[in-house]
Amino acid sequence: HGTSKVNGNGHLEIGGVDSVSLAKKYGTPLYVYDIALIRERARSFRDTFEKLNIKAQVAYASKAFSTVAMVQLVEEEGLSLDVVSGGELYTALSAGFPADRIHFHGNNKSYEELEMAIKNNIGCIVVDNFYELSLLEQVCLDNQVKVPILLRVTPGVEAHTHDYITTGQEDSKFGFDLQNGQADTAIEQALASTAFNVLGIHSHIGSQIFETTGFVLAAEKMFKKMKEWKDKHGFIPTVLNLGGGFGIRYTHEDDPIPLSQYVEAIIEEVKKHSKELDMDIPEIWIEPGRSIVGDAGTTLYSIGSNKEVPNIRKYLSVDGGMTDNIRPALYQAKYEAVLANRVNDGNEETVSIAGKCCESGDMLIWDLDLPKATSDDILAVFCTGAYGYSMSNNYNRIPRPPVVFVENGEDHLVVKRESFDDIVRLDMPLKAKVKK
């Protein structure tokens, strides 16, 4: 699992650092990122495009995990960055990320967010709908600028991990529909406006996808549309963005393909159609989030109380839960875990790992085989790097855990633990004096 292994003390070691000493140093719960693995994933995408000699931008989808340090790491690895809100954009700018490599997504960006983006000269705005097309045009007029855009289209290919739904008109809140004329009207409006430099089109078909089929189908449909637009408007896109969604292994049940295979399949399809249309191969942009950071993250928890329901189940509670990882509660997402302080001890019992929130649904893992655990033990849950910290919350007024990067035997705190003071920081008292 990445650079993690079991060290001489029988402890889980991540990036050359003993996880048990990390838990002691920073407390639990704790998010630990093996950043060598993040670098490796980033390079694997980049290298595949380079090997195939295709102009590309790999934009890390920062919704998966965004902090100033993470954005700086993305910069170091030469990727671009996808942001979806003023907050993610602000994080990117605070980290000093080159604005021309930032792409701005979202189905309801505000005037203020769009203005912030264009005032900072960001690389591209992905326009999602007609309302936004006119709002952005207004922002451009007010600021006297021309802005590079992509149009987000809904290709009518939707991936549900293993099966694809191809429909005439997809029921989605995102994008201009490709089949019912919406996308045609949108391109006409965009091309007619002096406010826009239309780079091309974008689609995103889903997340945690294990096959190349959906990307190939989406590319095919987009090229069909590109041919119509070429004939009708003489418009030839310079960019084709196929979104993110590349799947990762959360548990032994998942069987992902190498990241390079997605890229190779996409490029093969793109080359074929570009030739048919007698056009230059467009720049290919992709937006991986989960596949860059997912398996690089491990969450460390301390085990606390337990409860036995005779003949049915044993619950072990940890000091975090749906506040730091809402995915099991929200999507029935599955994870695997070990005792970090004695990884190789034999499994003696089957337990279910409960979070500490006042909610029955706050369960992290059902039916996990573990050595008999006590409150001295540290539980390490794997693959929590994507949509864990980024979807964390303060339910039950539980402070968010800190984030630590590890690499080559060194650890760097990149997000501090929230304190109880942070929890009440924005609260305004009703009475002048509040006892602390």
Which residues participate in the annotated binding site for pyridoxal 5'-phosphate? 245, 287-290, 387
E strand or H helix at 339: strand 337-339
Calpha distance 136→115 (Å, rounded): 8
The residue within the footprint of ligand LLP, chosen from 41, 109, 327, 356 (CB under 6 A), is: 327
End-to-end CA distance of the chain: 45
Q: Are 335 and 381 in contact (CB under 8 A)?
A: yes
207 lies in the binding site for ligand LLP (CB under 6 A): yes
**Minimum CB separation from ligand LLP for residue 383, in Å?**
11
Residue 358 annotated as catalytic: yes
Task: Say whether residue 109 binds ligand LLP (CB under 6 A).
Answer: no
What string of DSSP letters covers 24-80?
A: HHH-SSEEEEEHHHHHHHHHHHHHHHHHTT--EEEEEEGGGS--HHHHHHHHHTT-E
| Contact predicate 270/241, CB 8 Å | no
Should residue 64 be labelled a site residue for ligand LLP when binding is judged by CB under 6 A? Answer: yes
61 binds ligand LLP (CB under 6 A): yes
In the complex with ligand LLP, the residue whose CB is nearer, 4 or 291, is 291
- The mark string for 273-292 relative to ligand LLP (x by CB under 6 A, - otherwise) is --------------xxxxx-
Q: Which one of 124, 357, 358, 383 is the catalytic residue?
A: 358
How far, in Å, CA of 95 to CA of 89, rounded?
10
Looking at residue 178, the DSSP 8-state letter turns out to be S
Query: Could you say which of 250, 285, 387, 405 contacts ligand LLP (CB under 6 A)?
Result: 387
- State which residue, 243 or 402, has the beta carbon closest to ligand LLP: 243
- Asked whether position 58 contacts ligand LLP by CB under 6 A, the answer is no
* Residue 82 Rama label (left phi>0; alpha psi -120 to 50; beta): beta
Burial class (CB in 10 A: 0-12, 13-18, 19+), 24: exposed
Which letter does DSSP use for residue 263 in this model? H
User: Total number of residues binding ligand LLP (CB under 6 A)?
Assistant: 20
Stretch that binds ligand LLP, among 33-41, 240-248, 302-310, 313-321 (CB under 6 A): 240-248
CB closer to ligand LLP out of 178 and 303: 178
Query: CA angle, 16 as apex, 351 and 412 as ends, to 5°?
Result: 95
Query: Among residues 209 and 337, whose Cβ is nearest to ligand LLP?
Result: 209
Q: Which one of 245, 282, 320, 385 is in contact with ligand LLP (CB under 6 A)?
A: 245
Binding footprint of ligand LLP on the chain (CB under 6 A): 61, 64, 82, 105, 204, 207-208, 243-246, 287-291, 327, 331, 386-387
Active-site residues, by number, are 358
